[in-house]
């Protein structure tokens, strides 16, 4: 077996390193190993911008170098990290709409599971969505700068050492137990307005809101092409249809989740109704969206 064939098989099998035999048979071993690695990644439907590369080591062996974006995707732990990756991808040329790289079926299908594994962090203290659903929801917003309903929050301006210990007390309000002044101190701070234990994300730049790209008409066209359903709009229409128009439309737009307590006080059955709708939606199978590349069919599942 030639060195080139052996190298290609090694790369195709998923090996991260390969050392050719000392006998040089005149073949291009580096190119063969790289071709095997690339074919293996294509078989996994890995988009080009996530694919690893191959480097030659000092001892003549070959090493697969992990793609930084792939590492970033695999190590997502917070919503802020996910939003950062989404915004980065959207600025790249990924074969999608010019200037909006995230609007690419292959790429979106590839990053779906890591994003869906992250619970959304929004102004709704009872938020049940995940980051992938927030992204799809944003695509439905057209030219609106901010998505409908509960808005995503960001901890990027909060002291990293304090984030894990913060206790939530409101849509954007938190308390740092380590800085608590005790009952008397907290009571006195109500008069002075200076509570060192209080953390309000709305006091930070941008109001503490995490921003996703504004997809405009391109986003609307993409959601239609992929067969996505705007469940958020469906829920809003169903809820507001059962309430007086004067109050329902006002409270179910930007205030849904943000001023939920006020809405619930006016319509105490709203939460039960929405829970029933959420259960109904969860029972709906995910959309099966198929794209055809040549003679090869690929299946992608979206919210």
DSSP assignment of 79-102, as one string?
A: HHHHHHHHHHHHTS-SSSBTTBTT
Percent of the chain with pLDDT over 90: 33
Percent of the chain with pLDDT over 70: 67
Mean of the per-residue pLDDT values of the chain: 77
The pLDDT score that the predictor gives to residue 28 is 87
Q: pLDDT: is 186 or 218 the higher one? A: 218
Q: What is the mean pLDDT of residues 274-300?
A: 44
- Measured between alpha carbons, how far is 274 from 152 in angstroms, rounded to an integer? 19
229 in Cβ contact with 287 (< 8 Å)? yes
The pLDDT score that the predictor gives to residue 288 is 37
Q: What are phi and psi of 287, to 5 degrees?
A: -65, 135
Q: What is the mean pLDDT of residues 197-206?
A: 87
HSE on the CB side for 159, CA within 13 Å?
A: 12
Pairing of strands 198-200, 17-18: unpaired
Distance linking the first and last C-alpha atoms of the chain: 48
pLDDT digits (tens, 9 = 90+) for 85-118: 999 998 886 554 445 688 988 899 999 999 999 9
262 in Cβ contact with 251 (< 8 Å)? yes
Highest mean pLDDT among 89-103, 196-210, 285-299: 196-210
The pLDDT score that the predictor gives to residue 8 is 93
Predicted confidence band at 260 (pLDDT cuts at 50, 70, 90)?
A: very low
- Tell me which DSSP letter residue 151 carries: P
The pLDDT score that the predictor gives to residue 20 is 83
pLDDT reading at 84 higher than 50 = yes
The pLDDT score that the predictor gives to residue 113 is 94
Among candidate residues 121, 118, 122, the one with its CA nearest the CA of residue 132: 118
Extract the tokens encoding 287. Answer: 């959309």
Query: What is the value of pTM for the model shown?
Result: 0.70
pLDDT digits (tens, 9 = 90+) for 25-80: 767 888 999 999 999 999 988 998 999 999 988 888 899 999 999 999 999 999 99
- Tell me which DSSP letter residue 67 carries: P
The pLDDT score that the predictor gives to residue 160 is 85
The pLDDT score that the predictor gives to residue 188 is 55
- Measured between alpha carbons, how far is 111 from 124 in angstroms, rounded to an integer? 25
């Amino acid at each position: 077996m030639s060195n080139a064939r052996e190298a290609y098989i090694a790369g195709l099998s998923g090996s991260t390193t390969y050392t050719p035999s000392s006998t040089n048979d005149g073949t291009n071993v580096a190119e063969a190993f790289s071709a095997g690695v690339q074919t293996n990644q294509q078989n996994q439907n890995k988009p080009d911008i996530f694919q690893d590369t191959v480097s030659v080591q000092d001892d003549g062996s070959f090493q697969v170098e992990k793609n930084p974006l792939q590492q970033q995707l695999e190590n997502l732990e917070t919503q802020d990290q996910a939003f950062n990756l989404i915004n980065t991808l959207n600025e790249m040329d990924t074969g999608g709409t010019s200037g909006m790289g995230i609007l690419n079926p292959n790429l979106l299908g590839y990053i779906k599971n890591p994003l869906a594994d992250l619970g959304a962090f929004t102004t709704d203290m009872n938020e049940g969505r995940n980051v992938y659903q927030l992204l799809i929801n944003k695509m439905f917003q057209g030219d609106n700068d901010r998505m409908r309903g509960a808005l995503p929050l960001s901890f990027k301006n909060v002291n990293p050492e304090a984030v894990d210990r913060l206790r939530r007390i409101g849509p954007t309000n938190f308390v740092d137990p380590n800085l608590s002044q005790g009952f008397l101190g907290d009571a006195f701070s109500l008069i002075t307005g200076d509570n060192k234990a209080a953390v309000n994300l709305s006091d930070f730049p941008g109001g503490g809101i995490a921003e996703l790209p504004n997809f405009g008409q391109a986003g609307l066209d993409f959601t239609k092409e992929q067969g996505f359903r705007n469940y958020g709009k469906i829920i809003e229409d169903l809820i507001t249809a059962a309430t007086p128009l004067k109050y329902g439309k006002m409270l179910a737009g930007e205030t849904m989740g943000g001023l939920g307590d006020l809405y619930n006080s006016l319509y105490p059955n709203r939460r039960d109704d929405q829970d029933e709708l959420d259960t109904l939606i969860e029972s709906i199978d995910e959309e099966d969206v198929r794209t055809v590349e040549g003679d090869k069919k690929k299946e992608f599942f979206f919210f």
